[in-house]
Amino acid sequence: MAKAPVAEEILSEKFGPHLNYKPPGGWTDESVHPAEKLVKTHCCFCGQQCGIQLKVRENRVIGFEPWEEFPFNHGMLCPKGVKRYLQGNHPDRLLSPLMRSDQGFRPASWDEALSFTVSRMREIQKKYGKDAFAIYGGASLSTEKSYLLGKFARVALGTRHIDYNGRLCMVSAGTAYKLAFGIDRSPIPWSEIPKAEVLFVIGANIGDCAPITTDYIWRCRDNGGKLIVADPRMTPITRNADLYLPLRPGTDLALLMGMLYVILRDGLQDREFIEQYTTGFDAVAESAKQWDLPRVAEMTGVPPESIEKAARWIGKSKRAIMMHARGLEHQSKGVENCLAVLNIALATGNIGRDGAGPTMITGQGNGQGGREHGQKCDQLPGQRSLADPAAREYVAGVWGIQPDELPQPGYTAEEIMEAIHRGEIKGLLSTCFNPLVSLPDANFTREALSKLEFFGVIDFFLSETAHHADVVLAGSLHEEEDGLGCSAEGRVIHWQKSIDPPGEARCDSDIIIDLAHRLGRGEYFRFENPADILEELRIASRGGVADYYGITYERVDKQMGIFWPCPSLDHPGTPRLFVDRKFYTHDGKAHFNVTEWRPSGDPINDEYPLFLTTGRVVSQYLSGTQTRRIGALVDQYPEPRAEIHPRLAEQHGIKDSDWVTVTTRRDDLTIQAMVVKTIRPDTVFIPYHWAGIRSANRLTHRTLDPRSKIPEFKVSACRIARANGPDPSPDDRGAHKNGASRGGA
Ligand SMILES: Nc1nc2c(c(=O)[nH]1)N[C@H]1C(S)=C(S)[C@@H](COP(=O)(O)OP(=O)(O)OC[C@H]3O[C@@H](n4cnc5c(=O)[nH]c(N)nc54)[C@H](O)[C@@H]3O)O[C@H]1N2
Ligand SMILES: Nc1nc2c(c(=O)[nH]1)N[C@H]1C(S)=C(S)[C@@H](COP(=O)(O)OP(=O)(O)OC[C@H]3O[C@@H](n4cnc5c(=O)[nH]c(N)nc54)[C@H](O)[C@@H]3O)O[C@H]1N2
Ligand code: SF4
Ligand SMILES: [Mo]
């Protein structure tokens, strides 16, 4: 008789080899792994920042417990959150620095890896100038690390070029909110959502990408609120929507202007509010006149009655909330689209009061905190502008340098890759970013990486991009260093250190500080720990829009989060912005902005007659470096699939699970079809969490929004054809096609 499997075997069968933790003498109790301590911290897998308690034993995270008291999620977690703890003990974890050799990577000592990195930085800057070396940061980094990286670029390296992966994410919304309100933060905390009479969700797949937010939406509906969803796909929450607007990809601006047209035509605007608290209304009202319903219906594919209904519901309600995410923003007119939402909010007076307001759903773990304190190419701490002489003078003073020593604003993330491609930038240090998978037009990115004279990466896994590096510095996971994060709501929270980095791996901030010292700039980086960095950040942000002066770890722990701005130690924080209807603009008013229609950078035609749009599935996170290593998540959605409508499938003789080749002007991709009725028949959707021959970004294009510089991930032109099977030479394909790869992937 076969031996019954012990609990551990069942677990490893279920979760894969990553569950490799064994205490020295083996488990004494097969079913219970008692924790030494529970650490209150947050999930790293999205901007919701749900509270979670990590179970720790022998410097390992071995499980989790819900954190019922944390006010945002009350112990609830989504499918990624409950598996979050599994990445730490993964056998792929980098345990020491790696250096490229003729035979691939070899482990190296920290001294060797860092000395080499610094010598290459110096050589490149000496030969080609300071700006020939660029830095990439990331919004999964703690706020302290983002601050440190911004200072490192400007003070230790003296380069103009630092930008971050949030450039692919939050910048269209951020640019628009700054133009309208002078501040880049959600104006409302999520506790406002259940109070709305109408919720308008546009370009956001809340069920899959902000799962805990669905709870707020259901509470709104339980209170009688109406739900409107605008998306080319019927996302899960659409099942319970009162109105669904299935717009054609890339036509949001037309839809929103059409709604404004109806609001103004029917006199549903809030005249008193417009008069007292805003500027620029007349020009926007004038521009709305061209967006009559027949034209808008024609462009968007949405029935005119539905557009009218949506506009009237919002216009007639006392409290409306508009929620948007990347569907609206990943477009060559992402900023215009967001401005159009804000124009509707302003025209109807839906801002600065209970249960009302527009809000953006921030994506990455620290998508909000990571865009506040200087890792953006044009930014100084406190959401100050690097181009503003007063801001330069203030921050230079805090840092102990002269204002003219601060470089001018540099290139954005995709622009950095383009400058690498044309040979202007020669060296790159990338922390917390996997550009080969996440930037558009992956073949171009691969070519660019192959041209670098030096490429260093700080990561805890060997990401696909890291395969192309000369040096990989083994950094730290979320739970291995103390730090602040900021959630989509604007709530500053505390990521408590739970364990030390394993093996020779080091905390990210130690690595950056060590590099600064080796570059001879140690006097500006006298930080022993994240608390020291926070002390300086508080002062550097003081008086800025994102004022953190009143925020300390102790206060955050006590209040379970503090909403910024928080200018003094006795300030309670600011959950809802603009309570007194004072805005952060130069005149204190909210600004209407005229929007301009712009076609997609990759228009459809007879050869490429379909829209390709890309995005996410619930079980995977971003470029997948982390979640593709967690077996229990991989099982839920193992491979990318091309979602297509039954009608389109039939036209091409495709059945569910058949192989299909999707071709754009850049490349083609052969994956299995997922035939679903929940997508427009002229649209193909592919999730982008995979690399190499499964990478959706081989298909996307490099058109950027001119202001935010976000890529147009949501709109490409494509065609499809039935295929017989997967690509025959999967793993080599990218490298063969371009001959450019220095490593794998
Ligand atoms: N499970 C999971 N959750 C995540 C992430 C993840 O990778 N996985 N990532 C996090 C991050 S960083 C982000 S940015 C957020 C992203 O969160 P979302 O923006 O909600 O997710 P996406 O899938 O990128 O796109 C959202 C929706 O836009 C729709 N869409 C496509 N084209 C258009 C268009 O032209 N107009 C409109 N109106 N809609 C369109 C898509 O059909 C999709 O339903 O999710 C966060 N949460
Ligand atoms: N086609 C298409 N492309 C897209 C999108 C889309 O919708 N469609 N969405 C875009 C969006 S919204 C986003 S946010 C980007 C995300 O794109 P990326 O930022 O490239 O994705 P990540 O998977 O977060 O990559 C981060 C890397 O940093 C590492 N990392 C994570 N946390 C830490 C840390 O604390 N320290 C260190 N040192 N390393 C860390 C991870 O292991 C991973 O290798 O992708 C964009 N690309
Ligand atoms: S909603 Fe986001 S933060 Fe919350 S558990 Fe899921 S992935 Fe983690
Ligand atoms: Mo994102």
pLDDT reading at 730 higher than 60? no
Measuring from atom 36 of ligand 2, which residue has the nearest CA?
432
Sequence-distant (6+) residues with CB within 8 A of 276 are: 581
How many A from CA of 234 to the centre of ligand 3? Answer: 22
How many A from CA of 185 to the centre of ligand 3? Answer: 19
How many A from CA of 383 to the centre of ligand 4? Answer: 19
Pocket test for ligand 3, best of 44, 64, 77 (most atoms within 8 A of CB): 77
80 lines ligand 3 (CB under 6 A): yes
The first and second tokens of residue 310, run together, are 């949506």
Q: What number is the average pLDDT over the span 5-11?
A: 44
How many A from CA of 361 to the centre of ligand 3? Answer: 13
What digits encode the pLDDT tens for the residues 45-83? 999 999 999 999 999 999 999 999 999 999 999 989 998
DSSP element (H, E) containing 10: helix 7-15
Q: What's the CA gap between 720 and 724, in Å, rounded? A: 13
Atom of ligand 2 nearest to the CA of 140: 32
Measuring from atom 44 of ligand 1, which residue has the nearest CA?
205
Q: Are 554 and 545 in contact (CB under 8 A)?
A: no
The first and second tokens of residue 479, run together, are 């739970």
Give the orientation angle of helix 252-265 with respect to helix 334-347, to 10 degrees: 20
Sequence-distant (6+) residues with CB within 8 A of 288 are: 257, 260, 261, 264
- The alpha carbon dihedral of 490, 491, 497, 502 has a sign of negative
- Per DSSP, helices labelled H in 213-325 are 213-222, 252-265, 271-277, 281-288, 293-300, 304-316
How many A from CA of 689 to the centre of ligand 4? Answer: 12
pLDDT reading at 740 higher than 90? no
Q: What's the CA gap between 452 and 680, in Å, rounded? A: 42
Q: What number is the average pLDDT over the span 325-337?
A: 98
Q: Beta 668-675 vs 659-663: how paired, if at all?
A: antiparallel
Query: What are the residues facing 494 on neighbouring strands?
Result: 484
Atom of ligand 1 nearest to the CA of 616: 23
Residue 24 is predicted with a pLDDT of: 57
State how far Cα 248 lies from the chain centre.
Answer: 24
Residue 252 is predicted with a pLDDT of: 98
Pocket test for ligand 3, best of 41, 42, 44, 48 (most atoms within 8 A of CB): 48
Instruction: Give, as one character, the DSSP assignment of residue 107.
Output: E
What digits encode the pLDDT tens for the residues 159-187? 999 999 999 999 999 999 999 999 999 99
Percent of the chain at pLDDT above 70?
93
Residue 655 burial (C-beta neighbours within 10 Å; 0-12, 13-18, 19+): exposed
pLDDT reading at 743 higher than 70? no
Q: How confident is the model at residue 745 (pLDDT cuts 50, 70, 90)?
A: very low
How many A from CA of 662 to the centre of ligand 3? Answer: 31
Q: What number is the average pLDDT over the span 720-732?
A: 77
Q: Beta 427-431 vs 454-459: how paired, if at all?
A: parallel
Q: What number is the average pLDDT over the span 664-692?
A: 97
Q: What's the CA gap between 686 and 644, in Å, rounded? A: 9
CB atoms within 10 A of CB 670: 20
User: 135: helix, coil or strand?
Assistant: strand
Give Cα separations from 25 to 35, 57, 59 (angstroms).
16, 14, 16
Atom of ligand 3 nearest to the CA of 77: 5
User: 37: helix, coil or strand?
Assistant: strand
Q: Give the Cα-Cα-Cα angle 200, 563, 42 (nearest 5 degrees).
A: 85
Pocket test for ligand 3, best of 41, 46, 54 (most atoms within 8 A of CB): 46
pLDDT reading at 202 higher than 50? yes
Q: How confident is the model at residue 629 (pLDDT cuts 50, 70, 90)?
A: confident
Q: How confident is the model at residue 657 (pLDDT cuts 50, 70, 90)?
A: very high
Give Cα separations from 131 to 124, 134, 370, 408 (angstroms).
9, 7, 23, 10
The first and second tokens of residue 216, run together, are 């707020």
Residue ranges lining ligand 2, Cβ < 6 Å: 138, 140-141, 165, 168-169, 326, 330, 363-364, 431-435, 438, 458-461, 463, 475, 478, 508, 614-615, 622-623, 625-626, 688, 696-697, 700, 713
Residue ranges lining ligand 1, Cβ < 6 Å: 46, 80, 169, 202-205, 208-209, 230-233, 235, 247, 249-250, 252, 325-328, 363-364, 613, 615-616, 618, 620-622, 685, 714-715
How many A from CA of 708 to the centre of ligand 4? Answer: 14
What digits encode the pLDDT tens for the residues 535-550? 999 999 999 999 999 9
Atom of ligand 1 nearest to the CA of 249: 35
User: 584: helix, coil or strand?
Assistant: coil
